[in-house]
């Protein structure tokens, strides 16, 4: 078949790399610490017991920003293991610096596309919780198709969660909160922890992120949604 007749399908990405300049500390952390804490896509499917050298509850955070919230959760819950994904290298470098400084051992980090990591690296029924805090809202209507929370995403997360596991989302964009609610309410195999159509108050385990504080300063409300995998 000629190139002119071939149909090439490209997945719509839910992010763009608005990467600022790396500080010297972030660059050093990427070079020196990523080999210790980092996971590359080419490593293939992961064995978490082997990766962390123990059995524990595993928590995935998609889009950890500068890593502050992820670090706080790992420090407060040393009995859990955390796997964080972030495409922006300054944020990854910042978290790696903190991991080295504090000697944290229950976090591993990926700098790849979350959808590719989920597809290729996260085993089915291996996670107790998935966090998606303040994802890019893509607020223009013609960009809504780029939002990560879609029907296929919900079922992908369902496959990775253990029965009884939780998808916890938070956003300060009301329109996106409504979309999250719609997608997860109609998703097979999930139930709303707060009750049908209801949002959660911020649970104690979710730290107050800089994005949330910024939104509060602008007068934005925040919506938390927690959906439990039933089957």
Region 11-18 average pLDDT: 57
What angle (nearest 5°) sits at the alpha carbon of residue 69, between those of residues 84 and 15? 55
pLDDT of 15: 53
Question: Contact 204/167 with Cβ under 8 angstroms?
Answer: no
pTM: 0.90
Average pLDDT of the residues of the chain:
91
Region 159-173 average pLDDT: 96
Q: Are strands 38-39 and 57-62 parallel, antiparallel or unpaired?
A: unpaired
Q: What is the tens place of the pLDDT at every residue in 106-149?
A: 999 999 999 999 999 999 999 999 999 999 999 898 889 999 99
Percent of the chain with pLDDT over 90: 83
pLDDT of 120: 98
The CA distance from 203 to 225, in Å, is 10
Q: What is the tens place of the pLDDT at every residue in 66-89?
A: 999 999 999 999 999 999 999 999
Q: Could you confirm whether 81 is annotated as catalytic?
A: no
User: CATH fold of 31-39+50-229, please?
Assistant: Rossmann fold (3.40.50)
pLDDT of 6: 37
Residues 6+ apart with CB under 8 A from 119: 156
DSSP secondary structure code for residue 112 in this structure: S
Catalytic residue (choose from 136, 172, 221, 230): 136
pLDDT of 59: 98
């Amino acid at each position: 078949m000629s190139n002119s007749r071939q149909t090439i399908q490209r997945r719509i990405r839910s992010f763009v790399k608005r990467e600022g300049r790396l500080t010297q500390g972030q660059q050093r952390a990427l070079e020196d610490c990523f080999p210790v804490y980092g996971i590359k896509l080419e490593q293939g499917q992961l064995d978490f017991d082997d990766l962390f050298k123990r059995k524990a509850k595993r928590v995935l955070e998609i889009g950890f920003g500068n890593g502050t919230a992820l670090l706080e959760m790992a420090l407060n819950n040393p009995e859990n293991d955390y796997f964080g994904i972030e495409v922006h290298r300054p944020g990854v470098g910042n978290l790696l610096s903190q991991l080295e400084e504090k000697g944290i051992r229950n976090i591993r980090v990926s700098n790849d596309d979350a959808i590719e990591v989920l597809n290729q690296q996260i085993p089915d029924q291996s996670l107790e919780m998935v966090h998606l805090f303040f994802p890019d809202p893509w607020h223009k209507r013609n960009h809504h198709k780029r939002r990560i929370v879609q029907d296929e995403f919900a079922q992908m997360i369902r496959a990775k969660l253990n029965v009884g596991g939780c998808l916890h989302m938070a956003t300060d964009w009301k329109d996106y909160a409504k979309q999250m609610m719609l997608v997860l309410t109609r998703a097979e195999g999930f139930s709303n922890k707060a009750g049908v159509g209801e949002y959660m108050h911020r649970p104690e385990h979710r730290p107050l992120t800089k994005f949330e504080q910024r939104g509060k300063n602008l007068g934005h409300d925040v919506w938390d949604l927690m959906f439990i995998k039933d089957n």
